[in-house]
Structures are given as structure tokens and as C-alpha cells.
Structure 1
Amino acid sequence: MSRSIVRQSKFRHVFGQAVKADQCYDDIRVSKVTWDSSFCAVNPKFLAVIVESSGGGAFLVLPVHKTGRVDKNYPLVVGHSGPVLDIDWCPHDDNILASCSEDCTAMVWQIPDHTLTRPLSDPVVVLEGHSKRVGIVSWHPTARNILLTAGSDNLIIIWNVGTGEPLLSMDDHPDLIYSISWNRNGSLFCTTCKDRRLRVCDPRKREVVATNFEEPIALLELDTSNGVLLPYYDADANMVYLCGKGDSSIRYFEVTDEPPYVHYLSTFSSKEPQRGMGFMPKRGVDVTKCEIARLFKLHDKKCEPITMTVPRKSDLFQDDLYPDTAGPEPAMEPEEWLDGRDEDPILVSMREGYIPPKSRELKVVKKNVLDSRPTTRRSMSALDTNSLPPQLLERLLEEIQNLKATVLSQEKRICDLENKLSQYTNGTD
């Protein structure tokens, strides 16, 4: 009799769950532009959403904690003269965001920590170099101030936003570029193109280093809508989340080094289709709840966070779920990267974000006398003397006697001083 072998994995039972209604972001006019970007970008401090606006392009930036209904007059980030097509938060500064638009420019913005009181219209820098609309912005994962843009002119430009100057460009693509993704250390990036080819590019050599891939290591047929699939890869957990734009589900998989390499885990489904999706960096998840990912699903008029959680009973920090993750510190300067240096992200511990729940706080078996705050003139008879150990009761009584003796001696001294003062006053009259 054969017995099926169940694959062992700590992520096999990950489940998705939408947050409560009061933790959503309501009354957001999500952009209706027909472009295949995610329309949403999020980091541990802010949520940014491309929105409808008259007279140009705009996006909304909210503090992550500011959930609920968004006032219709809430100030937007404006500045583009055409619709905004893509946005991306800088991985090395949670207040810096890049945007690009149909107006053929990309812009870099510094978002203040305080809530905006008026529209933000002054970018830190405007990047002009494309001849057609700019549809993609993507920050370098490890080098400071390096930003990639791609436009409908089939041109890729890599900028140093610190100086506002282009560092290099590539025009190897014969058709419209759909998406771009850096590898972990930023030495290469891959692109998808309208000609249905996947290309791996070395930007510093200004060349495509790989195009004709052999058979894929895994092939999965997905029953999904005609919309584009937005993939999000979690390098810490080796998991991939696939979100179909116009679809109403999020499928997630685990990637391993052994065949069959890609393992389907589960699907989170809801009634409403998604207009876009944001993916929180790992350092922004709640480790006290064993949350390993948080996605921000865009509806027509709201944004709904969805948490991905590993069910665990223990309330201790789960080391195996949270290896050190990419932190906000850049690993190198733009000149170093341009000269050929490669560095992996500088990692930080997730343990620092762990706050023990109250149930794990210090428990005192015996009553702590110092926590008892007696009311004024509370007598010894009001204390529950039966609950005190005999030695402690004896010591307390002794201290009370000593205090009484001290009070009596001080009262005698006060009387003596008052008498002397009276004699002195009478003698000088």
C-alpha cells in the first residue's frame, strides 16, 4: 500500500485575509488610465495611489496609519502635465518617491512626514530625456540615488537623481517595454517586451546578455482574466504572489531548489476585481502576528490591505519566518556601482520590530507591595494582613513604629522652634 508524501514547508498553510472595513482607505478615485502598472506603491510609512485628476496627472500619498475615509479635498501630489503612469518608493529613503507620466518626464518627490495641507507641486528633480511617454520607474535595490526609467520610445535611461543627470542608456528593445525588474544586487535587470521576449540586460555593458531561454523549469496554466499579471517575489520566503489586474484573486507559490521547483500554495479570492496592487517591503509587516506579507488591493474607489499570515500558536518571535531582510541603508554610492562594483542589500534584523504581547509580560506570583498605592490616611487595619507573609508583616510593623517615633520627635522639635520664635518676637517688640 503506497503512502503519499506530504511536502514539508513552513509556508504550506499561509492564508490571506482582508482587514476590517475601518482599516481600509475609502473614497479614493483610482486612476482609469489604461496602463499595465500597479497604480499603487507602499512602504512602512506611506501609501501612494495614482488617482484621477483634472488638468494633468496626480497621485495621493497617505500615511499608512491614516485609514478610513479620505477627504475629497485631501491635497494631492501634482506637477505632471499628463496622466501619471507609474510610481515607486525609494528603498533607501521612505520619504522619497519617483513618478513618471505621459508628459515624457519622470519626477522625484520628497514627501514630508506631516500631513499635507496643500497640493505638493515642487519635485526635487525633473528628469527629461525621453521623447515619448515614460511608463516605468524603478529604483536600484542597493545603490544610492540610482533610478531607471523606460519609455514608449523603447529607450531605457539610468539616472543619478542626486545630480539629475543620465548615467547611461540602452535602446536594444525593438518594441514597447512592458515591465522591468532588477536582480537582488542590481547588477542586471530583466525586461518583458511587446515582442513577447524576455531579456536579461547588463546596464553597465549596455547590452542584452540573454534572450533565447530554453524550456522553463516550471509551467503553470492559470485560469485568469485577460488582464496583465502583476508578480511580487519575496526573496526572504522564496514565495511568489501573482495578482491578475482585473482579476479578483491572488495566487501564491513557493519556489524551491528541487523539482518541481514551483509549488502552488493557495489562492486568496474576493468578489471585487483589483485595479492595481501594492506590496509592502518585508520590514513593514507585523511580526507579532506572524504576518509574512501585506498587499494593498485597489478597488474602483478604495484600497484594501490584505495580510498573508502563517498560523502559529506561539507568541514568541519566529526566527524561521523572519530571516534578516533588506534594510533602508544603501550598500554603495552611484559612482561605485557605475565603476562595476556589486553589493547585496545591507540586511537588518526583524526582531527589532517584535513587541511581546501583554500575556508574556513579567508575572509576579506574590503581590507586589510597591504596586499598592494606599489612599490618604489609610490605616493598617485596612490592609489585608492575612495575605502578607509573617516576616514581611513584622518588618512593616517595625517600620511603622519607627516612622511614628520620627514624627513624634519632629513634632517636639517644631514645638521647641515655635517657642523660641515666640520669645524672640516678644523680646523685640
Structure 2
Amino acid sequence: MSRSIVRQSKFRHVFGQAVKAEQGYDDIRVSKVTWDSSFCAVNPKFLAVIVESSGGGAFLVLPLSKTGRVDKNYPLVIGHSGPVLDIDWCPHDDNILASCSEDCTAMVWQIPDHSLTRPLSDPIVVLEGHSKRVGIVTWHPTARNILLTAGSDNLIIIWNVGTGEPLISMDDHPDLIYSVSWNRNGSLFCTTCKDRRLRVCDPRKREVVATNFEEPIALLELDTSNGVLLPYYDADANMVYLCGKGDSSIRYFEITEEPPYVHYLSTFSSKEPQRGMGFMPKRGVDVTKCEIARLYKLLDKKCEPITMTVPRKSDLFQDDLYPDTAGPDPAMEPEEWLDGRDEDPILISMRDGYVPPKSRELKVAKKNVLDSRPTTRRSMSALDTNSLPLLERLLEEIQNLKATVLSQEKRICDLENKLSQYANGTA
């Protein structure tokens, strides 16, 4: 008499659950642009969502704690002259976010710790180098200030946002690039393309190092819609989450080194289809509730957090669920990476949870235009770096004056309203 052997795994019973209605984010005008990015990015401080905007592109940035209904007049991050197509938070600074747009540019933004009180229209740096719309933006996982962009000109550019300069360009793709993903130490990245080929690229050699993959080690057919799948790989738990745009399910799997390699765990389903999905970095999950992942599901007019939890009765920290994870500090400088150095992420313990640090200013030191060969049209003046402290003080003074003017305008409005009430005999 034979018995079936059940595979042992601490993630076999992981279950997904939507948060209570009041813990979601309502009345968000999610962008209706037909693009295959996730439209949503999240980190331990902020939720960012690409939204509808007249006269250009915009996205909404909310502190995670600002749940409930979003005021229709809540200030947006604006600056792109065309619709925003993709956004990505910097892994080494929770206040820095990159965006890209149909206007052929990428921009890097410094988000203040507090809620925005007025529209944010001044990026730290504008990155210009693509001749067509820029649809993908993604940060290097371990090197400071390294950002990759990919455009509809089939060009990939890697930038040092600390200087605003392009470091590497690759034009190895014959058709539209659908997605780009770095490996764990940022030595290689992988792309998918409209020509149905998967490519592994070595950016510092400026070459494709692998394309002709043979039979897959595992093949799963999913009963899903025609929408694009948004995958998320959790390197700590060796789990993959698959979310289809236009689908209403999140399927999750465990990856092992032994056949059959991919093990289906379960599916979280809800009534409404998702427009996009944001994935919280592991340092942002709640270890006191055995939460191993948190996903932010975009619907037509709201964002709904979904928690993935391992059922455990003990209140103690679960070491086996939370190996040391990638922290917020970069492992190397951009020059070191460009010279060929590779480093894995600097890990931190999750035993006491994670508290995001306060905002750190990202300084951009533009190189002198006379010291380099002519490139594309520059978005910043060619200034000697010795002038930067003075410029920073002037910019800070301008910001302070703007804040004072806004404060006085509000005070004048309040006084005018009171005067009107007295005149009408209602006060």
C-alpha cells in the first residue's frame, strides 16, 4: 500500500488577504494609458501611482499612512509634458523616485517626508538621450545612483544620476523592449522584446551574452486573460508572484533547486480586475504578523493592499521566515561598478523590524560641458561644481520664499472670508 509523500515547505499555507476598506486608498484617478508597466511603486515610506492628468503627465505620491479617500485636489508630481509610463523607487533612498514618459525623458525626484502641500514640478535632474518615448525605468540593485532607461527607440541607456550623465548605451534590440530586470548583484540584466526573445545582457561589456535558450526547465500554462503578466520574485523566500493586468488573481509559486523546480502554492482572487500592481520591498513588511509579502493592487479608482501571511501561533520573531534581507545602503559607488566591481546587496536583520530613515538630499554635480565630448541637448546648465553650494543656498531661499508666499495667500483668503461673513451678517 503506497502513500503519497507531501512536500515539506514552510510556505505551503501562505494565504493572501485584502486589508480592511479604511486601510486602502480611495478616489485615485489611475492612468488609462495603454502601457504594460505596473503603474504603481511602493516602498516603506510612500505609495506612488501614475494618474490621469490634463496637459502632461503626473503621478500621485502618498505617505503610506495617508489611507482613506484621497482629496481630488491633492498635489501631484508634475513636470513631464507627456503621459508618465513607468516609475521606480530608488532602493538606496526611500525619498528618491525615477519616472519616464512619452516626452522622451526620464526624471529623478526628491520626495519630502511630509505630505505634499503643492504640486511638485522641479525634478532633481532630467535625463535626455532617447529619441522616442521612454517606457522603462529601473534602478541598479547595489550601486549608488545608477539608473537604467529603455525607450521605444530600442535603446537602453544607463545613467549616473549623481552627475546626470549617460554612462552606457546599448542598441542590441531590433524591436520594442517590453521589460528589463537586473540580477541580484547588478552585473547583468535580462530583457524581453517584441521579437519574442529573452536576452541576458552584460552592460559593461556592452553586449548580449545569452539569447538562444533551449527547452525551459519548467513550463506552466495559466488560465489567464490576454493581459501582460507582472512577475515579482522574492529572493529571500524563493517565491514568485504572478499578477496579470486585467486579471483578478494573484498566483504564487515556490522555486526549488530540485525537479520539478516550480511548485504551485495557491491563488488569491478578488472580484475586480487589477490595472497594475506594486510590490513592497521585504524590509517594509510587518514581521510581527508573519507577513512575508505585501502587494498593492490598483483598481480603476483605488489601491488595495494585499498581505501574504504564513500562519504561525507564536508571537516570537520567526527566524526561518526572515533571513537577512537587502537593506537601504548601496554596496558600491557608480565608478566602482563601471570599473567592473560586483557586490551583493548589503543585508540587514529584520528581527526588530525596519524603521525608514529621514530624507537624505541627493546632490547632483553636473560635469563641465567643456570636459567631455558633445552629447545630446542638456537639461541642466553646465556649471562648475564649485558654484553648487551657492546655488543650493539660492534654491533653498527661493523655496522658503515660495512657502512664505503660499502661507500669506492662505491667510489673506481666510481674512477675506471672515470679512465677507461679517458683511453678510453671518458671523
Q: TM-score range by the shorter chain?
A: 0.7 to 0.9
Which aligned segments of 4 or more residues in structure 1 are displaced greater than 4 angstroms?
354-388, 392-429
Higher-RCO chain (CA-CA 8 Å, sequence separation at least 6)? 2
* Equivalent residues of 1:315, 1:357 under 8 A apart: no
Greater radius of gyration (CA): 1
Q: 1:384/1:311 Cα in 2 relative to 1: closer, same or farther (>3 Å)?
A: farther
Shift of 1:73: 0.2
State how far apart, in whole Å, the 2-side matches of 1:403 and 1:185 are. Answer: 44
Q: 1:156/1:361 Cα in 2 relative to 1: closer, same or farther (>3 Å)?
A: closer
**Residues 268-289 of structure 1 deviation map (CA, whole Å, 9 limit, x = unaligned):** 0000000000000000000000
Shift of 1:153: 0.1
* Equivalent residues of 1:316, 1:356 under 8 A apart: no
State how far apart, in whole Å, the 1-side matches of 2:57 and 2:410 are. Answer: 84
Q: TM-score, normalised by structure 1?
A: 0.83
Shift of 1:114: 1.3
The sequence identity of aligned pairs, in percent, is 95
* Equivalent residues of 1:275, 1:300 under 8 A apart: yes
RMSD (Å) for aligned C-alpha atoms:
21.9
State how far apart, in whole Å, the 2-side matches of 1:385 and 1:2 are. Answer: 75
* Equivalent residues of 1:58, 1:80 under 8 A apart: yes
Q: 1:18/1:368 Cα in 2 relative to 1: closer, same or farther (>3 Å)?
A: farther
Q: 1:214/1:29 Cα in 2 relative to 1: closer, same or farther (>3 Å)?
A: same
Q: 1:123/1:216 Cα in 2 relative to 1: closer, same or farther (>3 Å)?
A: same
Shift of 1:115: 1.1
Shift of 1:214: 1.2
State how far apart, in whole Å, the 2-side matches of 1:11 and 1:173 are. Answer: 38
State how far apart, in whole Å, the 2-side matches of 1:83 and 1:193 are. Answer: 22
State how far apart, in whole Å, the 2-side matches of 1:194 and 1:384 are. Answer: 43
The alignment partner of 1:381 has SS state of: coil
Q: 1:172/1:312 Cα in 2 relative to 1: closer, same or farther (>3 Å)?
A: same
Partner in structure 1 of residue 417 of structure 2: 419
**Residues 133-175 of structure 1 deviation map (CA, whole Å, 9 limit, x = unaligned):** 0000000000000000000000000000000000010000000
**Residues 384-418 of structure 1 deviation map (CA, whole Å, 9 limit, x = unaligned):** 99999xxx999999999999999999999999999
Q: 1:119/1:14 Cα in 2 relative to 1: closer, same or farther (>3 Å)?
A: same
Q: 1:396/1:427 Cα in 2 relative to 1: closer, same or farther (>3 Å)?
A: same
State how far apart, in whole Å, the 2-side matches of 1:378 and 1:103 are. Answer: 15
* Equivalent residues of 2:112, 2:359 under 8 A apart: no
* Equivalent residues of 1:288, 1:355 under 8 A apart: no
Partner in structure 2 of residue 394 of structure 1: 392
**Residues 286-344 of structure 1 deviation map (CA, whole Å, 9 limit, x = unaligned):** 00000000000000000000000000000000000000000000000000000000000
The alignment partner of 2:394 has SS state of: helix
Residues 404-413 or 286-295, more deviating: 404-413
* Equivalent residues of 1:146, 1:160 under 8 A apart: yes
**Residues 2-29 of structure 1 deviation map (CA, whole Å, 9 limit, x = unaligned):** 1000000000000000000000000000
**Residues 215-254 of structure 1 deviation map (CA, whole Å, 9 limit, x = unaligned):** 1010000000000000000000000000000000000000
**Residues 69-115 of structure 1 deviation map (CA, whole Å, 9 limit, x = unaligned):** 00000000000000000000000000000000000000000000011
The alignment partner of 1:403 has SS state of: helix
* Equivalent residues of 1:317, 1:354 under 8 A apart: no
Shift of 1:419: 67
Length, aligned pairs only: 426
Q: 1:194/1:427 Cα in 2 relative to 1: closer, same or farther (>3 Å)?
A: closer
The alignment partner of 1:400 has SS state of: helix
Residues 79-88 or 416-425, more deviating: 416-425
State how far apart, in whole Å, the 1-side matches of 2:403 and 2:295 are. Answer: 69
* Equivalent residues of 1:279, 1:294 under 8 A apart: yes
Q: 1:297/1:400 Cα in 2 relative to 1: closer, same or farther (>3 Å)?
A: closer
* Equivalent residues of 2:128, 2:377 under 8 A apart: no
Q: 1:411/1:137 Cα in 2 relative to 1: closer, same or farther (>3 Å)?
A: closer
